[in-house]
Structure 1
Amino acid sequence: MLASEEGLPPEVLRYRQDYLEALPIAAAVIGLQDGKPGIIAANDKLNLVAGPDLPRRYMAQMSGRLRAFLLSDEEHLEYQWQEPGIGNRHFTVRFSRLSPAVNHARRCLLSLVDRTAQVETERSLRAEMLHDSLTGLPNRLAFNEAVEAAIEADAGGQDSFAVLVVDLTRFSRINECMGSMAGDELIITVARRLMATLRAGDVLARLGGDEFGILLRLADGPGDALQAARRIASTFATPIRLSELEICVDCAVGCALMNGRAAQAGDIIRNAQFAMKRAKQSGRVEVYQPGEVSAARRRFSLETELRRAIDRDELSLAFQPLINLETNSVSGFEALARWIHPDHGPIPPSEFIPVAEESGLIVPLGRWALDATARTLAEWDRRTGRVLPVYAGVNVSAVQLQRDDVAAGVAGALGANGLDGSRLTLELTESAIISDPDRAGRVLTALKMLDARIAMDDFGTGYSNLAYLQKLPIDILKIDRSFVTGMLADRDSIAIVRAVLSLADALGMKTTAEGIETVELARTLAALGCSTGQGYYFAKPLSADDALDYLLARAA
């Protein structure tokens, strides 16, 4: 008992002790004596929680903070305290001011809550949160934290770290064919092989699915990252045995160097993922190039704005004439989608068409193009008072052919505008046909039943199986401009053009040459037997009104 408490009636001391014992937590009354804090009274729970040597540990660990509290005007103070040493307990310590003693000495109530079980549970849960349950590797969250720590360590921006993202290129197929158990076994085996390629201090994590992340310290500059990527690629050279099969697994590796331009872990990991996506296409290790994220954001923004433009009917069509090279008359037009953004001006098709295909907007865009083309043809007939002897070609993408009922869309556009099927020609690329030849065959047959014509666009630039030309009801082969533009000066190009023209003639098909820009090209192609020509020599793509004027002027 402190000297300041001596002389108090026994019943007062007893009541105070009874109050302390009634508290549900470990507690003690603390007072100042000669400027030093000391225990006035304590309940039994304090000894149970803190042990009998609390005074010694308390004086060593808490006295300074407690003395400052007693000398201050604060009413409450709470903080977390861990006993010194390894594996010791954790407490929530709270000071609550009491009224002064009879001699005006300052006092407070000290309470301790043992949080050791809670802290250990939190640690266990955090460990589970930060590790992948299948491989035992750090997961995406832990990898983010590791990269954040590396960014802080690399504050000078000296490119001393790099992040690699590794993605298995055939995992989904293996998972589908052999089942999820085999897929899990493959992931575990891959994790072990990747771990064997790393140096001390490198961090390997499973980011999700078949994607792994690696944080590398670059001891000798960026070349270390490429060497690590080569080691990773070589580790997959040996097949992996699953059940009774030996599976050859390949991977795509993307790399991003850590520097001042990547301020957050999410940025540099995303940069590596962008590079990995390019690696899937190129088949080699790719390093992130500045500007890729901005381009992706622009594509995403463009997708949103394109969806809005389609909904609001803000797109338009341009019509490029198709000229009969024998009679020099207009046979038809190719309908081309155009988009003039209210803020950014014209957006080229080479930019928004890939966005439409990637996002699935190519389906409503393709439907819109069919309807708008049919409406334009019907409007021309109405304005001239007769059915014009011209057709319009409408492009159908591979994605549209796979996802949409193209024949139903054509039938709807024809029926709504009172047109015969011969007024529309559907232009498909080789890739659209080859990607799913059975579906393409069914769609093309349905289109032929509507009397529509089929043109194979960009013929010669892909990998066509010539057997498809016999099996599928194709009417027109369009010779790509890459062969036409320089054919007069390139013997190989003119040989290819001759071969396509001969093939089309043998199969009873018409031909259209794209990219005719001079009179010499037009005359040469006509002499070689090409049916139709298209290009700037005849006319650039025209608005609907200008296209009709062009048609009537050439017919006069």
Structure 2
Amino acid sequence: MKPASACHRDDIDQNRGPCVAVDGVYDEEDSCADHLLAALSMPAAIIYENDDQPWVHSANGGFHQRFLMPSDRGESLRFKGREWQDRIARFLKGDRVSESFEMPIQGRFGPEYFYCTIGRLKELTDRGRPILVTAVDRTSERTIEKNLRRELMSDSLTALPNRTGFGEAIDDRIKGGPWSDNAGFAIIAIDLSRFSRVNESLGPMAGDELLITVAKRLKSSLRQGDVLARIGGNDFAIFARLNNGLSDALHIVQRVKDALSSPIRLSNLQIRVDCAIGCAIAVSLDEDPDDVVRKAQAAVKIAKRSGKVEIYRNGVLKEAHRRFLVESRLRDALSKGALTLAFQPLIHLSSSEITGFEALARWNDEELGAVAPVEFIAVAEESGLIVELGRWAALEAAQTLARWDEAVGQTLPVGMNINLSPIQMARDDVASMFEEALRFSGIEGRRLTAEITESAIIADPEKARKLLFALKELKMSIAMDDFGTGFSNLASLHSLPIDILKIDRSFVSTMMEDHDKEVIVRTILSMAESLNLKVTAEGIEDQSLAHRLQQWGCWQGQGYYFAKPMNEAEAFDYWRVRWNFETV
């Protein structure tokens, strides 16, 4: 059997018309094939097996143009790619009736993609059973898919991989190898600490410019093979190949710090970029990259609080899961009113009179059990639930006083201290919160004391000043909590409407054994006297502490020596029992 030879005719449509000759002449069978192929709008050909190899018998112009090598009259038609020929040869040797696949070829302007179908024709000829091959051009579809995929995998602002693209890039690097026995990888997470302030003060365009500049600087700090991605609004991450473990990771961290050390100019302003950095090192190449990224993000959260570079340690993800669970349960508890207040008495040290109570939030969850205040309050501050929690506590404390008044038929000579979180002061209208609590409960403002921390004042002095004066207009007292642990000075105390200083328990509880702490306590008492401020000492655990503080002129105390925090009924009974006043 002789192979087919090419025929070139000027009157044939290069996209659809057939161009074929068998032994240099057309027969009736060939004419039918020509008409069949000419009727098809896509590239198509009829192929036979010749000497165990596929040979093109008939093909329209589109098939010639895209898949066959140019040939002169009398030469056999050949496929442009060996892959094409091998694919059809395997089909001819098999027994399948039809088959479909996608085949890429190199076109004039880049890769082209065709969805191809091969099917056996029923008619047998003296050449054997032919097969029909058709190809549908999918190039435009694949180009659109490629562009969409690129958009889905990259950040449009910085052109860096996004969170999804970062994961794929890590997989490519790990699988792309080779990796030596001691090689590993790390994920370094970077959070821009002051980004929100730039957005608020200079606008989103300045924020975008800052992100672009930071991305360029971080990219300049990378080594070959490292991958930089923007995985959040102001969060970046680096995949770094390690040959020397932690030392390599710390070296890259230093390069990042150096890249961001010089100020960035925005709108004629020099902006210094502060960032929190967390790092997680994979224990092996088999470790899930997504887990390593999550570990790095958990480490950077700790870095935001500590102000240092944090390396992930075992248990951090477990702690993060616990915080997430606590947040979810706390949100549910607040909506259902499942929290309670405990009340610790405040004792006048000279007369032993109960001057008031400090209201303390308590939470006993059905699933988590008793959750410590230090845990759920921190979660509330991080999640923003502190606003709802603070409003509930203020209203509940004020209504507790109203219920006690109603129980005895007169106004009790006791007040209530309510703690304010710095986050709550920054995010909520605290003055209106207290005004609402006083209005609903019907008690006077003089019976409420707001306890604030030094850090709340330092964070935004002007806003804190306005708030404190607004609270004084409600006739409320103001106590500075945990005094001595922050950075307050005489000038700031003198300029603020503060009534009471609360000496932190860390100074009071061990002052009898620690001379330095005793000096601190006496200094605070002396300073308060000169400023005409009252002093409350926290952490009074025994009678000797109470007597010593009384001798030094301390006005008020609280601690386990007097009573632990109690529920509402116990606190009311405690006040009634001590109404006749015992000595300290």
Name the TM tier (shorter chain): 0.7 to 0.9
Q: What secondary structure is seen at the aligned counterpart in 2 of 1:408?
A: helix
**Mean Cα deviation higher: 487-496 or 331-340:** 487-496
TM-score (norm 1): 0.87
- Alpha-carbon distance, 1:80 to partner: 2.3
Question: Which string of whole-angstrom CA distances, capped at 9 and with x for unpartnered residues, describes residues 261-312 of structure 1?
Answer: 9843333223223333433444433212222222222212211211111111
Match of 2:56 among 22, 26, 39: 39
CA distance in 1: counterparts of 2:496 and 2:251, whole angstroms:
49
Larger mean CA deviation between 232-241 and 171-180 belongs to: 171-180
Q: What residue ranges of structure 1 are gaps of 5+ in the alignment?
A: none
Deviation by residue 1:353-396 (Cα, 9 ceiling, x = unmatched) = 11112222112211211222222222222223332211111112
1:35 to 1:179, Cα distance in 2 relative to 1, 3 A: same
Distance 1:383 1:173, change over 3 A: closer
Deviation per CA, 1:479-523: give whole Å up to 9, x if none.
Answer: 110110011112221222112222222232222110000100000
Equivalent position to 2:348, from 300, 304, 324: 324
Q: Does structure 1 residue 284 correspond to structure 2 residue 301?
A: no
Equivalent in the alignment of 1:304: 328
Question: 1:15 aligned to 17, 24, 32, which one?
Answer: 32
SS at match of 1:275: helix
Whole-Å Cα distance in 2 between the matches of residues 331 and 180 of structure 1? Answer: 51
Residue pair 2:54, 2:85 contacting (<8 A) in 1 also: yes
Q: Which runs of 5+ in 2 are unaligned?
A: 5-20, 71-75
Identity over aligned residues, as a percent?
47
> How far does the alpha carbon of each residue in 1:154-200 deviate from its partner, in whole angstroms, 9 at most, with x for none?
99996611222344445555666677777666656555554454433
| The 10-residue stretch of structure 1 (313-322 or 394-403) with the greater mean CA deviation from structure 2 | 394-403
Q: Which of 163, 169, 184 is residue 146 of structure 1 equivalent to?
A: 169
Equivalent residue, structure 2, for 1:221: 245
Deviation by residue 1:456-480 (Cα, 9 ceiling, x = unmatched): 1111111124333223322221111
What corresponds to 1:499 in structure 2?
523
SS in structure 2 of the partner of residue 49 of structure 1: helix
Q: Per the alignment, do residues 498 and 234 of structure 1 end up closer, same or farther by CA in structure 2, a change over 3 Å counting? A: same
Which residue of 2 is the match for residue 446 of structure 1?
A: 470
1:134-533 mapped onto 2 (5 Å cutoff): 138=161, 140-152=163-175, 153=177, 160-170=184-194, 190-191=214-215, 193-207=217-231, 211-237=235-261, 248-260=272-284, 263-533=287-557
Q: Does the aligned pair in 2 maintain the 1:49–1:114 contact within 8 Å?
A: no
| Counterparts of 1:458 and 1:292, CA distance in 2 | 29
* Greater mean alpha carbon deviation, residues 353-362 or residues 80-89: 80-89
Structure 1 position 138, deviation (Å): 5.0
What is the CA distance between 1:453 and its match in structure 2? 1.9
3-state SS in 2 of match to 1:93: strand
Letter in 2 for 1:213: A
**In the alignment, is residue 74 of structure 1 matched against residue 96 of structure 2?**
yes
1:550 aligns with 2:560: no
CA offset digits 1:127-171 (Å, max 9, x no partner): 666566666655554432222234445999966112223444455
1:248 and 1:405 mapped to 2: Cα distance? 31
1:27 aligns with 2:44: yes
RMSD between superposed Cα atoms in Å? 3.6
**1:92 corresponds to:** 115
For residues 111 and 285 of structure 1, do their structure 2 counterparts lie closer, same or farther at Cα, with a shift above 3 Å needed?
Answer: same
Greater Cα offset, 237-246 or 364-373 = 237-246
The 1:204–1:534 alpha-carbon spacing in structure 2 relative to 1, beyond 3 Å, is same
C-alpha offsets along residues 520-546 of structure 1, whole Å, 9 cap, x if unaligned? 000001111111110001111111111
Q: Deviations over 1:91-133 (max 9, x none)?
A: 3321123213256943321112344565566556656665666
Say yes or no: does 1:57 pair with 2:79. yes
**What is the DSSP-based 3-state SS (H/G/I as helix, E as strand, rest coil) of the residue aligned with 1:379?**
helix
Deviations 1:233-280 (A, max 9, x none): 234455566787766545443222122498433332232233334334
CA distance in 1, matches of 2:27, 2:532: 121
Q: 2:130 aligns with which of 107, 126, 130?
A: 107
Task: Report how many residues are paired.
Answer: 556
The match for 2:10 is: none
* Kept after mapping to 1: 8 A contact 2:189/2:237: yes
Contact 2:183 2:241 in 1 (8 A): no
The one-letter code sitting in structure 2 at the alignment partner of 1:372 is E
- More divergent stretch after superposition (374-383 vs 88-97): 88-97
Q: Matches of 1:373 and 1:303 in 2, distance apart?
A: 23
Tell me how far apart the structure 2 counterparts of residues 144 and 305 of structure 1 sit (CA, whole Å). Answer: 31
Task: Answer yes or no: is the 8 Å Cα contact 1:2–1:40 preserved in 2.
Answer: no
Could you say what secondary structure the match of 2:350 adopts? coil
Matched position secondary structure for 1:57:
coil
Shift in alpha-carbon separation, 1:56–1:162, aligned structure 2, 3 A: same
